[in-house]
Amino acid sequence: MSAYDLIGYIGLGINLYSMYAKGEYRLRLFSIIANTVYIIYGLLISAMPIVLGCTIAVILHLYRIKKLKTVNDAEHSKSNK
């Protein structure tokens, strides 16, 4: 197994863990980490579809995390009133 393959398998492991994680925030956080590893892997093996797809996934996960934080902040401020 090459070092590049090892990076790909690490990304796979993190991705599988993200699906097991409880709660949307943790799922998305670990998906961001996994997709970042996949981006590195894609760059190393010159697979631009992997790089493009995972870059889009990171952006979408970051967007959803931001929305989750906004909703949680609003709920928290309502409960303090």
| DSSP secondary structure of 5-54 | HHHHHHHHHHHHHHHHSSSHHHHHHHHHHHHHHHHHHHHHTT-HHHHHHH
Which pTM value belongs to this model? 0.86
- Whether residue 13 has pLDDT greater than 70: yes
Position 81 confidence tier, pLDDT thresholds 50, 70, 90: low
Per-residue pLDDT at 76 exceeds 80: no
Note the pLDDT tens digit of each residue in 19-64.
999 999 999 999 999 999 999 999 999 999 999 999 999 999 999 9
pLDDT at 70 (0 to 100): 87
